[in-house]
Amino acid sequence: MAAERLKVIQGHLSGFKVHIDITVTPDKETAASAPLRYTRDNGRLSPEQRRHYEQHGFLVVRGLVPPALLDTCRERFLAVVEGKVDRGQMTLMRDISLRGRNDVTQERVVNKIQDFVWDEVLSQFVLLPQIQDVVEGFTGPNIMAMHTMLINKPPDSGKKTSRHPMHQDLHYFPFRPADSIVCAWTAMEHVHRDNGCLFVLPGTHTERLHPHEYPEWEDGVNKMYHGVRGFEAEPKQYLEMQKGDTVFFHPLLLHGSGVNVTQGFRKAISCHYAASECQYIDVRGTSQESLAEEVMKIAEKRGISRDDLTFADVWKFRSRLVRGREVTL
């Protein structure tokens, strides 16, 4: 039976190279007896992969995304930020320490492109079958792509604005349950500690959603770079990854990234997926209310009235069904 089970799993994961990065060794007796809450028993993940994610809140799959696709996404990013193609509904975010400067390239200034879920080029990442196959092990068969980002970490200007404070992604999302949401984050080149790789606090996906606010950094903080306090002394695990490696992580996992002290760029591309059975929630009276207010003010600056659009509506426009059927999202 074990051999037949292994063949089924290998069949589901065929077509791409899989290597599990387990750098924290679980207690075997505890892991074997713990109930599986955060993953699905649908053959998409091996028992070892499921146990690792259950205990630590993240899973690295090596060599998952083809390098050629990442090269295509890189070229699209450059074409968008340089104004060579219409950006459509995509949002460009700029580094606070470099905005308005004419002596640097746009690749240095733009640190993020968001909302590319409908872009004909960048959406190829969102629609990649091998990513969705792994995602299905967390969300089930009905999958919505909810939030897309191509993150460009340029060489730091000296102000340390290329770092990202420790945070939980659920802070940004007005839909639940959290256990049916997962991020797929792919390295577009070698990412390491010197160029600001991700760091995580393993196991913190079991915690509550903590209040977030802008950190009090001397030289400023980039827009929407909210963070949590009180975890600075906790031991971090740095996720050094090669081009095409992908980490899947829970939206409550505490994580962030460091300063890019190299002279090169550190690019990554990501998408948050959610089960279409998730539902929107009212964030009024919660720790997310101030975030919603910030988002709605941005919408008003773009000429959108609050009478015409709610915080949940904003997310409806940013999302796309990518597998299965629409339910409540």
C-alpha torsion angle, residues 23, 24, 28, 30 (rounded to 10): -150
In a domain, 294, yes or no: yes
- Report the alpha-carbon distance of residue 136 to residue 321 in Å, rounded: 13
Q: What is this structure's pTM?
A: 0.88
Question: Is 3 inside a domain boundary?
Answer: no
What is the CATH classification number for the domain harbouring 75?
2.60.120.620
Domain count, the chain: 1
d(CA 186, CA 206): 23
Residue 4 within a domain: no
- Mean pLDDT split into 10-residue runs, the chain, 329 residues: 41 40 45 78 97 98 98 98 94 86 88 96 98 98 98 93 94 97 98 98 97 89 92 94 98 97 97 98 94 88 81 91 96
Helical H runs in the chain?
Answer: 2-12, 28-33, 47-56, 67-81, 106-109, 123-126, 129-139, 289-301, 311-318
- 60 domain residue, yes or no: yes
pLDDT score for 104: 85
Domain that holds residue 252: 11-26+35-323
244 phi-psi bin (left φ>0, alpha ψ -120 to 50, beta other)? left
Q: Which two tokens stand for residue 292?
A: 């919603």
2 within a domain of the structure (yes/no): no
The answer to whether residue 47 sits within a structural domain is: yes
287 part of a folded domain: yes
Residue 260 in any domain: the answer is yes
